[in-house]
Amino acid sequence: MSKQIKYSKAIHEAFTYLLENHEEFFVIGQGLWSPWYVGETMKDLDKKFGKSRVIDTPVSELAVTGATIGASITGFKPLVVHPRVDFMLLAIDQIVTQAAKWRHMFGNNSSAPATFRAIINRGGEQGAQHSQSLQSWFAHIPGLKVVMPYDANDARDLLISSVLADDPVIFMDDRWLYDEESEDKGIKLIDLKDVKPEIISQGEDLTIVGSGFTMKQIIDSKKEILDLGVEPEIIDLRILNPIDFNIIIKSVEKTGRLLVVDGDWASCGIAAEVICSVTEVVNPSFFKSKPIRLTLEDAPAPTSRVLEEEYYISKERIIAAAKKIM
Amino acid sequence: MYVKKSNHFMSNFENLNDINSFTHFSEIDTSDISNETLIKMLYKMILIRRAEEKISVNVENGVIKCPCHLAIGQEAIAVAAGLSMIDGDKAFGAHRSHAHFLALNENTYSLFCEVLGKEDGCSRGMGGSMHIIDQKNGFYGSVPIVGATIPIATGAGLSISLKREENLSISYFGDGACEEGVLHESLNLASVMNLPTIFICENNLFSSHLRIDQRQPDLYTSRFALAHKIESKVLDGNNITELYKFMKNQFISVRKSHKPFFIEALTYRWKGHVGFREDEDVGVKRSQDLSKWRDRDPILLLVNELIKESKLSKVELKKMENEILDKIDSDWDKALNAKFPDKSNLKNFVYS
């Protein structure tokens, strides 16, 4: 069997690579000297590389994020860790109104190439304020790039690409993926500008698009969908802003059917964006049925496990949606 | 001495209605400053004043469309700090930053082009008055979101600290920004991480239309430095010799110690919050106060002293004034004729 790599280990490898090879890189954020804030993904990095390059901080999301941006404007390629997206919202002015605008409003005379690692950490009855992902929010902002890897190799390689890019990037990793394994293909250096959606498995009957954890659910559903006599073409978005829709458009022109699964809310979301951008281009005569989006219910995350089952996307729902669209 | 020994937990507002009782006011003292530097100070202050007057007139007549927040009356602070900076120091401004910019580069053409939205502007016409930058000369950008550059300047301090450079970063902000939580987060961060950042609060007593006694329980914003164990000093914001002497020495010390410092410069803006009007800003009448503050014009204070000490003649002053006016008129006319940006620039700078 080929060598496997866990998603969390892959992120750890990316940090190790960056700390070893890039003097201009440092990582800062709450909990970086604690073993439990960010799981295995940063274990003992402070011990190996020192507390001046792996920096734990006061409880000040706004100032710490702003300081990261300040360091990025003055020569560093830093990354700030937010162990939960929910808390990162305290820093929204710095991310959306400062970093994302910095290059444009100064006429290309400056830039803020900081990376914001936003960890999606939900489920387990954590409730409304410990469960958000909000990728669509960030993907709405011109000037911000939003990266959301599903595959462990991508988690490593795109983290490196995000940090080395000359733009501000939101890098979103999902704790539900940390124990997932992929075949270890080794570090591949990719320019973030070249990152596009990717076909994970080819099929003729139905295009299914997802990103991050929903990709795992789609892949887990593949066997049952095949059992229905439907060959799905599965596409991993990988980068949510800006999106190159060409691959999805070509796929839909072939299959005539589109199902988009997004682990965020429906309203003004990524799923709507994908469906809209495809239907604007693909001739209606290609469509054999109406596109479907499968998302979270438009409600805050509940706590009770009974309601959680109702709220989150499941394999069964993906299979049901595939049936419906056929 | 000019530093008010204030009890930080008592209100100091009795001064507000009688500026002559402001205990931090001080006399111009030219000792230990070379003639060359004194003349440079005066030149820069007058240049900034006349440039902003030019902008003011053209806001009033509608030629300039973007919002302009003028610093007329506050020039001494920017000039003193600018003259105390060295290569590698990095300053960040806010909404009222023309003076911070011009103190470092005297480039009125670039500023005029920017407020007119022209390609030759310091931000290629993409920023206007509120987004100006000149990294080459140490000005790393200004933005109008209140307090937003405070953590960014703190991060520039972190850069300097990580690279172990003998430099510093400067965060310019006003008394209004002290009401934003981010100032307090940033002061704490700079203090606990030992960052070489100078926090300069230009306390001009007003945030937009509200005087400080309507917004805070005390006149002095440097009390917040005390809470974070950052050393601070209250200075006469209209006395350039005092500002310069203090900043010059303090900057040298911060570059070596890599410890933050908080400077509070008390001053007064002559114009309203935004635009050309003087004593009427969103219904606020300040004409009585303003006439008293005009007597403490930072330019006038220096001119009077230099003439008294025979370091400048009236003829030389007139010559300097004329040179400046000529430069400003010619830069303005050139800016009026400069090119607007190419339409493709709208999408050119979103990403690298």
Residues of A in contact with B90 (CB under 8 A): 74
Which of B121, B125, B152 is opposite residue A66, by nearest beta carbon?
A: B152
For residues B19, B21, B22, B27, the Cα torsion angle rounded to the nearest 10 degrees is 100
**Closest among B42, B93, B98 to B70, alpha carbons compared:** B98
The pLDDT of B96-118, averaged and rounded, is 98
- Identify the DSSP state of B95: S
Phi, then psi, of B263 in degrees rounded to 5:
-110, 130
Q: Residue B7 has what pLDDT?
A: 44
CATH code of the domain in which A281 resides: 3.40.50.920
Q: Residue A37 has what pLDDT?
A: 85
Q: How far apart are CA B130 and CA B16, in angstroms?
A: 29
Whether the CB of B194 is below 8 Å from some CB of chain A: the reply is: no
Asked, for residue B350, whether it belongs to a domain, the answer is no
Q: Residue A111 has what pLDDT?
A: 98
Q: How does residue B281 score in pLDDT terms, banded at 50, 70 and 90? A: low
Same domain, A186 and A171: yes
From A2-11, A33-42, B5-14, B48-57, the region with the lowest mean pLDDT: B5-14
Instruction: Answer for the pair A63, B154: CB distance below 8 angstroms, yes or no.
Output: yes
Whether the CB of B338 is below 8 Å from some CB of chain A: the reply is: no
Task: Write out the residue range of the structural domain in which residue A70 sits.
Answer: 4-193
Same domain, A311 and A255: yes
pTM, entire model:
0.96
Which of A58, A75, A111 is opposite residue B189, by nearest beta carbon?
A: A58
* Domain end point (choices A130, A161, A193): A193
Q: How far apart are CA B59 and CA B44, in angstroms?
A: 22
Handedness of CA A64, A154, A16, A189 (dihedral sign): negative
Q: Residue B20 has what pLDDT?
A: 63
Min CA distance, B28 vs chain A (Å)?
Answer: 36
Q: Residue B15 has what pLDDT?
A: 64
Q: Residue B11 has what pLDDT?
A: 56
Q: How far apart are CA B219 and CA B264, in angstroms?
A: 11
Domain count of the fold of chain A: 2
Same domain, A49 and A119: yes
The A-side interface with B (CB below 8 A) comprises 26, 52-53, 57-58, 60, 62-76, 93-94, 97-98, 102-111, 113, 142-143, 145, 165-167, 242
**Closest among A107, A48, A32, A98 to B151, alpha carbons compared:** A98
**Closest among B226, B208, B147 to B179, alpha carbons compared:** B147
Quick check: A64 and B151 CB within 8 A? yes
Same domain, A210 and A179: no
Q: How does residue B5 score in pLDDT terms, banded at 50, 70 and 90? A: very low
The pLDDT of B15-28, averaged and rounded, is 74
Asked, for residue B348, whether it belongs to a domain, the answer is no
Q: Residue B27 has what pLDDT?
A: 93
Which of A53, A72, A109 is opposite residue B133, by nearest beta carbon?
A: A109
Which tokens hold the place of A151? 């595959």
Domain count of the fold of chain B: 1
User: Rg of chain B's alpha carbons, rounded to an integer?
Assistant: 19
Asked, for residue B214, whether it belongs to a domain, the answer is yes
Instruction: For residue A241, give the chain B residue with the closest CA.
Output: B351
Instruction: For residue B136, give the chain A residue with the closest CA.
Output: A109
The verdict on whether omega for the bond into residue A242 sits within 30 degrees of 0, i.e. cis, is: yes
Asked, for residue B243, whether it belongs to a domain, the answer is yes
Phi, then psi, of A310 in degrees rounded to 5:
-75, -35
Tracing tokens 């400067």 back to the chain, one arrives at B170
* Domain end point (choices A193, A222, A238): A193
Average pLDDT, chain B: 93
pLDDT tens digits, residue range B166-206? 999 999 999 999 999 999 999 999 999 999 999 999 999 99
Q: Which residue has the higher pLDDT, A61 or B23?
A: A61
Other beta carbons within 10 angstroms of residue B256's beta carbon come to 11
Residue B314: alpha-carbon gap to chain centroid: 27
* Domain end point (choices A162, A193, A224): A193
Task: Write out the residue range of the structural domain in which residue B101 sits.
Answer: 33-334
Quick check: B345 and A107 CB within 8 A? yes
Same domain, A183 and A288: no
Quick check: A67 and B348 CB within 8 A? no
Contacts (Cβ under 8 Å, ≥6 apart) of B49: B72, B75, B299
Residues of B in contact with A30 (CB under 8 A): none
Instruction: Assign B257 to helix, strand or coil.
Output: helix
Asked, for residue B113, whether it belongs to a domain, the answer is yes
Q: How far apart are CA A218 and CA A8, in angstroms?
A: 20
Other beta carbons within 10 angstroms of residue B352's beta carbon come to 13
Same domain, A111 and A168: yes
Residues of B in contact with A105 (CB under 8 A): 123, 126-127, 131, 143
pLDDT along chain A (326 residues), means of 10: 93 98 98 88 96 97 98 98 97 98 98 98 94 97 98 98 98 97 97 98 98 98 97 98 98 98 97 98 97 97 96 97 96
Same domain, A24 and A165: yes
Same domain, A266 and A168: no
Best mutation site among B152, B171, B350 for testing chain A: the one with the most A CBs within 10 Å?
B152
Same domain, A211 and A182: no
Contacts (Cβ under 8 Å, ≥6 apart) of B94: B142, B143, B144, B146, B148, B149, B172, B173, B174, B177
Same domain, A92 and A222: no
CATH code of the domain in which B210 resides: 3.40.50.970
Task: Classify each residue of A119-129 as buried b or exposed e, where b means 16 or more C-beta atoms within 10 Å of its C-beta.
Answer: bbbbeeeeeee
Quick check: B188 and A113 CB within 8 A? no
Whether the CB of B351 is below 8 Å from some CB of chain A: the reply is: yes
Q: Residue B17 has what pLDDT?
A: 67
Q: How does residue B8 score in pLDDT terms, banded at 50, 70 and 90? A: very low
Min CA distance, A293 vs chain B (Å)?
Answer: 29
Asked, for residue B55, whether it belongs to a domain, the answer is yes
Same domain, A156 and A18: yes
Q: Which residue has the higher pLDDT, B345 or B9?
A: B345
Best mutation site among A54, A95, A105 for testing chain B: the one with the most B CBs within 10 Å?
A105
Instruction: For residue B124, give the chain A residue with the closest CA.
Output: A107
Asked, for residue B22, whether it belongs to a domain, the answer is no
Q: How does residue B12 score in pLDDT terms, banded at 50, 70 and 90? A: low
Handedness of CA A123, A125, A130, A135 (dihedral sign): positive
Asked, for residue B4, whether it belongs to a domain, the answer is no
Residues of B in contact with A108 (CB under 8 A): 124, 348-349
Handedness of CA A67, A70, A75, A78 (dihedral sign): positive
Other beta carbons within 10 angstroms of residue A130's beta carbon come to 17
Contacts (Cβ under 8 Å, ≥6 apart) of A47: none
Q: Give me the interface pTM, i.e. the ipTM.
A: 0.96
Q: How does residue B9 score in pLDDT terms, banded at 50, 70 and 90? A: very low
**Closest among B291, B292, B195, B200 to B243, alpha carbons compared:** B200
Q: How far apart are CA B291 and CA B298, in angstroms?
A: 14
Same domain, A234 and A303: yes
Q: Residue B1 has what pLDDT?
A: 36
